[in-house]
Amino acid sequence: MTRTKPKVAFFDFACCEGCQLQVANMGELLLDVLGLIEVVEFREVMSEKGPEKIDVAVVEGSITDKHAIERIKKIRDRAKVLIAYGSCATIGGVNGMKNNFKLDDIRKEVYGDRFNYFDTVETKAVHQVVKVDYFVNGCPVYIPEFVKVLKAALQGIPYEVPDHAVCVECKLNENVCMYDRGVACMGPVTRAGCNSWCINNGNICYGCRGMVSNPNENGAMDIIKKYNIPMDMVINKMNMYNKCREIDKREQKKR
Amino acid sequence: MKKLLLKDSKYEIKKSKIIKVTTLTDLEKFFEIELPGGDSLDHDPGQFVEVSILGVGEAPISVSSSPTKLGSFEMVVRKVGRFTSALHQLKEGDEIGIRGPFGKGFPVRILEGNDLVFVAAGLGIVPLRSLINFVIDNRRDFGKVSILLGCRTPQNMLFGDEVAEWTKRLDVNFSCTVDRADPDWKGNVGMITSLIPGVTLEPERTFAVIVGPPVMYKFVIAELLKKQIPERQILVSLERNMKCGLGKCGHCQINGLYCCQDGPVFSYDKIKGVPEAL
Amino acid sequence: MLYNLSQYVVLKKEDFNGFISDLVKEQKVVAPVAKGCGQFSFEEVKSGSEISIDYIPTILPPKKYFMPRDENIATYDLSNGEDMEPVVEYEKMLLFGVHTCDLAGIQCLNMVFSERPRDLNYLIRKNQITIIGYECNFYCDRFASCRLVHNHSPNGGYDLFFTDVGDRFMIHVNTNTGEELVAKSNLLRKAGEKDFEDLQRVREAKNREFAKNEIPIEHEKIPELFDRAYNSKVWEDLDKRCVACGNCTNVCPSCYCFNMIDEPNLDLKTGRRYRQWDSCQNESFAKVAGGESFRKERGARQRHRYYRKFKYPIAKFSRFFCTGCGRCSRTCMACINLKETLNSLIKEQGMENPEAGKV
Amino acid sequence: MSKRNVSVNVEYLTRVEGHGNIVVDVKEGKLETCQLQIVESPRFFEGMIKGRSIFEAQHITCRICGICSCGHTLASIQAAEDAIGFKPSKQTTELRKFLLHMENLDSHILHIYLLVAPDLLGVKSFVPLIDTHNKVVRRALRMKKAANDVCDILVGRHVHPISSIVGGFTKLPKEKDLDAMLQILYDMRADMTATVELAATLKFPQFERDMEFVGLVSDDAEYPMLMGDIGSTDGKRINKKDYKKATNEFVVPHSSAKHAKWNRESYMVGALARVNLNAGKLHPKAKELAAALGVKPKVINPYLNTVAQLIECVHSLEDGIRILEEFKKNGVNQDEVVLVGLNEQDRIKVKPGIGVGAVEVPRGILFHNYEVDEKGIIIKANCIIPTSQNVNNIEHDMRKLVPEILDKTDEEITLALEMLVRAYDPCISCSAHFLDVKFVGR
Ligand SMILES: Cc1cc2nc3c(=O)[nH]c(=O)nc-3n(C[C@H](O)[C@H](O)[C@H](O)COP(=O)(O)OP(=O)(O)OC[C@H]3O[C@@H](n4cnc5c(N)ncnc54)[C@H](O)[C@@H]3O)c2cc1C
Ligand code: SF4
Ligand code: SF4
Ligand code: SF4
């Protein structure tokens, strides 16, 4: 079966571009990937501009201003399949922290009395603006998972982000649990799929992959209380990546 | 780490061919499958197979054709996720892998000589069809046969042609109901349970066979019990998440029972005290 | 107790490192290693000094060697259609220092996978693993409950079995494989009467120690307890507390549920089919197409876990599948404690017997 | 000089990190506008980390930029430790230096091979090179991966490193890790030699402008990357605490990044600045290469920044190997592992204070500056990114360059300008993140 290679384009919105860099970090594996697809647009490493219609759009970054809203809508129209790529795109990521503040306050904080000059809107994840077909979570993305999603997209079948806790992978890696060291970890409420990357390296999980669909928030709070960890600190941590979840909740309520 | 090719693995698949694909509704497609060398599947009605698309995965799918059909078997698949979407992309001539048949099917030998009431709702007709056609092909071995069919709308009805045949037969009592009717619909409207009071039957020699979505079992069984059918003569086929088909992976467990080994067909008396079953 | 003199040999403690070094020369040896914070794991060792012989149950039980977390069961190549080759991957190794609870765990898995239809992948791999057991003379910690399920003393399942009797180990030789290991070593000597007396003394002390188990119910009454407790309030309490992280099942030596997954290589033509540990605590475990989940509530999932330890396997295998290792309680962040759960159920059902388990 | 009109308008400059436009307007031979516009939409990091614990600063601010996230991490940690008065151990400092080397290597390789080389080989991106120069592309990816793999072993990953935090490292390399990292780096030497050979054949545009270079300087014999004072080729030297005296940021209306100047109208930071300031302290092998390539400070052709990067690649590789070999000899003290979440543990004492971090990252000197209260909560933050310092200099370069090349076609002029900007390896996404701006002339 010979097929024409699907046309893939990369786009970036407000983000650190680290997830795109992860692609370059694949090393020679990248060439295998490039054997499967035709990259038609990738501003960070390419000068070429892609055609009007593309098969797959890989979108990085969150939507933070009006211009971005227009741009993402155009990209959606151009693309058969849209992959939200990296925490900023899938759950709002660190950009969501902006939503912790009143918009005008934070603009004033940064721009002083000229705050009206810079346009900014509530930070949103991509799926909160346009339809998303595949999610690759993580800050930055975990390459093995990206490859998995890419393969699923090329096979034309759905990919489901694991809906169980990071703890599952963490246990399988036989890490000493952070709670046993008296430190709060977001693992119990965060979606697995990163192979408990941070805990393997001695850090806690910060929740960059977003929350499991049905987290037992009360149970989690109980745990935290038991370990004598100040609540505001934990809420602070939860809000580091997951602030935009409130938008999903709000939308659900509307429906 | 050493690697050994494993003869006799229970995970071995039979490389089979799709010889016919028909689109039934928006979501359901019909597939006719030929095993290597035209072997017959040798299944009991109500059993299922594990269907493989390498690179995508496996799913348990009921055999929809009667064992009396030789040379190939049939199945109907609803598109709900990863595997089923991939299967829907396949065409006639494409290959798939088959493992099985698995599970306990309907106890055909026990049913012989008795009256039968079939109750099928929605996709339930798919596995039940294997038994209905078996019974029709061996009609004289059975007593009275009634078929009660329920579907959401007339358009949702699967196997319309075959159903039309059944309605014409004199040796089968057939009734049908839809949840929502369109102007052309002449039949019943309402829940499938509403058909049961109208069936005349001799409870002690009647076996009732029910297949449908999980929510309907309780209600249908209650109606049948009202008709005095003994618990062990009420048969159901249950669907659970299933990965291996070999009674190991744990997904299909219903309390202490394994749907893939102990079922999917159970008699009501066996599962009555099993809280997770219905 | 009946001891067969000829089945025992003795290793002096000062020769322990030498004994391990000899083993390492022959094959891969895995043994308990300290991970810090009072936790341990089975890892490959190169010398006896790496081993933490006094350890409490490791984070993951030895099942990780018997049914690896990711286990290839077939490779495929689509160049000529749906062609796959079932495979089994195995490694010869020696497992050193397995406590009796974990020996019981391995026995549970053996039963499950040799029940028909038999699982050849497991059975082939299992036969490549030599097991040296190690006796606990003290209760590991407050989480352990091996006494309750009668797994505190050895019940087979090993090739050699070590008991610390002071300045030396008494070693029970249980199989031909064990015999061969003994024959190869020149550090072992035949056991004498004095050694037996010491073993006896250690065992008696242990029995007294282990009788302090605080779960007030007779071993035989446990199935009845679970017959009665299906609709207990205790499960509602667990529902509120459990966060469904899946830790309890992943660390359990007798949990063996898995998923089957296909992974294509980047050419999308070749790839593998493998099975991977799954957990009945995970949200999607019992979900079927259409979104219905047959164990939607976390409490129901916890109940399922308990019933899979204390009730369902009794009917099938006449054996508790809880080995009493205490791992699930040790690891649970919500502090769901198996012994506490049992205690609450016992109390609720009025089945307390303070005399139970006393010697 | 021709009296022609030229209008260059490059919207969304490609092969740089982030969004920037080049706008040049020449009317009848006279340069009217010459701007590098930074149009990246601001992400308000400075506002976002206010009110957060100083121990979280690094985790968040390294997400300003994925390309030099190790650099941001280290600058942030340095500023944080400075603010709360914590002194890192010698082992920690050495490992941080090593990490910086790896990032330098990684970033320079990416820039040289994937971003600059296409220009010099006359193609639009590295993708066509896969067919025409397959070996070269493979080598580039391999080298990049190698630097990455080392970061993976050391700190979990290169993009947003995991185990490097305030106080030290949450995990330390074991014997086998040291061996693995060393092996990777030894193996990289062959590729590095090939890279050097390739680079010797590349031709860079001729263009010179006498300018000021700024970077870290120190009195010891080490090529300063992690520690030192702020120095200039114009002879000035100040303590990092006074960084604002060096950067003198001002705002121009056309750019969301601030501009900087010190002793002249503008200055340059980055590999070329470092080589110009500290060439004598390079690793002998890097010195050798510099001599072979005829690089003699002070080099005033900004296009040669790429060459300086190459020299630094050799330096970072060799000095990195040296650091690891020392660890191999003396061992790593595993007791120095720090537990994350120190704030929750109160294991490191905090006190109110102001701290500055000044670290040489691939694109030049990076400043982080925090003020914390007695609970270690951030009350003020400021970052000055290398690219914001360079933007002004780039514009001055363009102003000199455009008149010199007016006889060329529009495409050639555009390309020359794009290449100029790219030579600086600008990281535009970072430069627009910190703006506490007073707008002049708007
Ligand atoms: C005995 C038996 C007979 C069946 N017969 C038929 C049939 O004749 N026709 C038909 O269309 N379907 C049948 N099914 C259901 C079919 O197996 C599932 O729809 C299919 O496995 C879903 O796979 P997927 O990859 O497309 O969906 P996924 O992408 O895996 O998931 C979609 C949804 O289905 C659930 N699911 C996943 N695996 C299974 C599974 N093995 N069983 C049930 N739900 C699952 C998931 O939890 C999820 O909610 C049968 C199931 C069983 C157990
Ligand atoms: S360290 Fe975090 S992810 Fe790992 S088990 Fe503990 S809570 Fe879960
Ligand atoms: S461990 Fe947590 S923070 Fe780290 S990559 Fe995984 S989900 Fe993200
Ligand atoms: S249920 Fe808990 S105590 Fe029992 S065997 Fe499993 S992990 Fe051990």
pLDDT at D13 over 70: no
**pLDDT, mean of residues D301-327:** 95
What's B190's DSSP letter? S
Q: Which pair of structure tokens corresponds to residue D63?
A: 């997400």
Task: Report yes or no on C356 lying in a domain.
Answer: no
Q: How far apart are CA C253 and CA C250, in angstroms?
A: 8
- Identify whether A2 is part of a domain: no
Interface partners of chain A (CB pairs < 8 Å, 3 or more) are B, C, D
Q: Do residues A26 and A113 both lie within one domain?
A: yes
Q: Report the candidate in A72, A48, A70 with the shortest Cα–Cα distance to residue A60.
A: A72
* Physical contact, D and B (3 or more Cβ pairs within 8 A): no
Give the pLDDT of residue D251.
67
Q: Would B62 be classed as within a structural domain?
A: yes
Q: Please report whether residue C353 resides in a domain.
A: no
Q: What percent of chain D has pLDDT over 90?
A: 46
Q: Is the CB of B62 under 6 A from ligand 1?
A: yes
| Structural domain contains residue A149 | yes
CATH number at residue B54: 2.40.30.10
Q: Does A233 touch chain D (CB under 8 A)?
A: yes
Question: Which pLDDT band, with edges at 50, 70 and 90, does C284 fall under?
Answer: confident
Other chains touching B, judged by 3 or more CB pairs under 8 Å? A, C
Ligand 1 contact, C319 CB (< 6 A): no
Candidate from A15, A24, A100 with C-beta closest to D110: A24
Residue D375 contacts A where some CB pair is shorter than 8 Å: no
Count of structural domains within chain A: 2
Contact list in B for residue C262 (CB cut-off 8 A) is 54-58
A17 and A114 part of one domain: yes
Residue nearest to atom 46 of ligand 1 (CA): C288
Radius of gyration of chain D (CA): 21
As for how many domains chain B has, the answer is 2
**Is the minimum CB–CB distance between A151 and chain D shorter than 8 Å?**
no
Interface membership of B85 toward A (CB under 8 Å): yes
- Give the DSSP H or E segment for B78: strand B73-78
A184 and A250 share a domain? yes
Asked whether residue A113 falls in the same domain as residue A141, the answer is yes
Q: Which residues pair with B49 in a beta bridge?
A: B61
Are C165 and C263 in a shared domain? Answer: no
D79 assigned to some structural domain: yes
**Mean local confidence (pLDDT), B167-188:** 85
For residue A196, what are its two tokens? 């408990």
Same domain, C183 and C300: no
Asked whether the beta carbons of residue B57 and residue C262 sit closer than 8 angstroms, the reply is yes
Do C195 and C293 reside in the same domain of the chain?
no
Position D276 confidence tier, pLDDT thresholds 50, 70, 90: very high
Domain residues for the domain of D130 are: 45-408
Range of the domain at A72: 7-155
B263 falls within a domain: no
- For residue range C67-103, what is the model confidence (pLDDT) as tens digits? 999 999 999 999 988 899 999 999 999 999 999 999 9
pLDDT for the residue C359: 55
Q: Does position D430 have pLDDT exceeding 60, yes or no? A: no
Instruction: Identify whether residues C60 and C143 lie together within a single domain.
Output: yes
Q: Which domain holds residue B119?
A: 108-237
pLDDT of residue D121: 81
Query: Is residue C355 included in any domain, yes or no?
Result: no
- Domain stops at, among A155, A175, A195: A155
In a domain, A145, yes or no: yes
Cβ atoms of residues C13 and C169 within 8 Å: yes
Q: What are phi and psi of A232, to 5 degrees?
A: -65, -30
Three-class SS of residue C54? Answer: coil
- Domain assignment present for residue C289? The answer is yes
* B260 annotated as a binding-site residue: yes
End-to-end CA distance of chain B, in Å? Answer: 45
B75 and B45 in a single domain? The answer is yes
Mean of the per-residue pLDDT values of chain B: 90
B37 touches chain A (CB under 8 A): no
Chain B residues with CB-CB distance to A156 below 8 A: 85-86, 89
For helices B160-168 and B125-137, give the axis angle rounded to 10 degrees. 40
Choose one of A155, A175, A204: the last residue of a domain: A155
Is the same domain home to C241 and C132?
no
Query: Within this chain, do residues A125 and A245 fall inside the same structural domain, yes or no?
Result: no
- Is there a single domain that holds both residue A20 and residue A124? yes
Classify residue D114 by its DSSP letter.
I
B241 touches chain A (CB under 8 A): no
The structure's pTM equals 0.87
Say if C359 falls within a structural domain: no
Q: Which atom of ligand 3 is nearest to the CA of A199?
A: 1
Residue D75: Cβ-neighbour burial (10 angstroms; 0-12, 13-18, 19+): buried
What gap in Å lies between CA B253 and CA C304, rounded to an integer? 10
A21/D66 Cβ within 8 A:
yes
| B19/B86 same-domain check | yes
Asked whether the beta carbons of D340 and D155 are under 8 A apart, the reply is no
C257 and C329 in a single domain? The answer is yes
User: Is the CB of A174 less than 8 angstroms away from the CB of C244?
Assistant: no
Chain B: residue nearest A152 by CA? B56
Q: Which strands form D237-238's sheet, in the order they lie side by side?
A: D237-238, D229-232, D212-217, D267-268
Domain assignment of residue D424, yes or no: no
pLDDT per position as a tens digit, C205-261: 988 888 876 788 888 889 999 999 999 999 999 998 888 888 999 999 999 999 999
Residue D422 domain flag:
no
Q: Does B85 contact A160 at a Cβ distance shorter than 8 Å?
A: no
The reply to whether A138 and A193 lie within a common domain is: no
Does residue D35 lie within any of the structural domains?
no
Half-sphere exposure of B221 (CA within 13 A, CB side): 23
Return the minimum-mean-pLDDT range out of A55-69, B188-202, D423-437: D423-437
Same domain? For A92 and A39 the reply is yes
Examine the pLDDT at D342 and tell me if it is beyond 70: no
Residue A239 lies in a domain: yes
Contact D337, D170 (CB under 8 A): yes
Task: Yes or no: say if D322 and D285 are a contact pair by the CB < 8 Å rule.
Answer: no
Pair B132, B229 in one domain: yes
What angle do helix axes D305-330 and D284-292 make, rounded to 10 degrees? 160
Ligand closest to Cα of D59 equals 3
Q: List chain A pLDDT tens, one digit each, 255 residues.
A: 345 788 999 888 888 888 888 887 887 888 888 888 888 888 766 767 777 789 999 999 899 888 889 999 999 999 999 999 999 999 988 888 877 776 666 656 555 555 555 556 788 889 999 999 999 999 999 999 999 998 999 888 889 898 888 998 999 999 998 888 878 888 888 999 999 999 999 999 999 999 888 788 777 777 777 777 777 777 777 788 888 888 888 877 776
If asked whether residues C73 and C38 sit together in one domain, one would say: yes
- pLDDT class of D435 with cuts at 50, 70, 90: very low
Residue A52, pLDDT score: 79
- How far, in Å, from the CA of D162 to the mean position of ligand 3? 10
A168 vs B278: which has the higher pLDDT: A168
User: What is residue A2's predicted lDDT score, i.e. its pLDDT?
Assistant: 44
Quick check: C260 and B2 CB within 8 A? no
CA distance D113 to D118: 8
**How many domains is chain D built from?**
1
For strand D267-268 and strand D212-217, is the pairing parallel, antiparallel, or unpaired?
parallel
A219: in domain: yes
Looking at the fold, whether A29 and A89 belong to one and the same domain comes out as yes
B274 domain-assigned: no
A96 and A66 part of one domain: yes
Q: Which positions in chain B touch A133 (Cβ < 8 Å)?
A: none
DSSP string across D172-223: ---HHHHHHHHHHHHHHHHHHHHHHHHHHH----------EEEEEE-SSSS-
Q: Can you give the CATH number for the domain in which B191 is found?
A: 3.40.50.80
Establish if C277 touches chain A: CB-CB under 8 angstroms.
yes
Q: Are residues B70 and B153 in the same domain?
A: no
Q: Nearest to residue D368, comparing CAs of D380, D379, D352, D384?
A: D384
pLDDT digits (tens, 9 = 90+) for D168-198: 999 999 999 999 999 999 999 999 999 998 8
Is C194 in a helix, a strand, or coil?
A: helix
CB of C287 within 8 Å of any CB in chain B? yes
**Do both A17 and A92 map to the same domain?**
yes
Instruction: Report which of C133, C156, C161, C130 is spatially closest to residue C9, judged by C-alpha positions.
Output: C161
Note whether residue A1 is domain-resident. no
Index of the ligand 2 atom closest to the CA of residue A196:
3
For ligand 1, whether the C-beta of C290 sits within 6 Å is no
Instruction: Give the helix/strand (H/E) hosting B19.
Output: strand B14-23
Residue A71's domain is classified under what CATH number? Answer: 3.40.50.700
Q: Which of B102, B121, B138 is the endpoint of a domain?
A: B102
Question: Of all residues in chain B, what percent are helix, strand and coil, respectively (each to 5)?
Answer: 30, 30, 40
Which residues in chain C (100-139) have CB-CB distances under 8 A to chain A? none
Task: Compute the distance between CA of residue C12 and CA of residue C22 in angstroms, rounded to an integer.
Answer: 15
Q: Where are the alpha helices (DSSP H) in D293-408?
A: 305-330, 342-345, 386-404
State in Å: Cα A183 to ligand 2 middle. Answer: 10
Task: Give chain C's domain count.
Answer: 2
For chain C, the chains sharing at least 3 beta-carbon pairs closer than 8 angstroms are: A, B
Distance from CA of D108 to the nearest CA of A (A): 13
CATH number of domain containing D144: 1.10.645.10
Domain region containing C336:
219-348
Same domain, B151 and B221: yes
Q: Quick check: A172 and C268 CB within 8 A?
A: no
Residue A210: name the closest of A137, A146, A145 by CA.
A137
- The structure tokens listed for C49 are 């000094």
User: Is the peptide bond prior to D298 cis by the omega test (within 30 degrees of 0)?
Assistant: yes
pLDDT at D232 over 50: yes
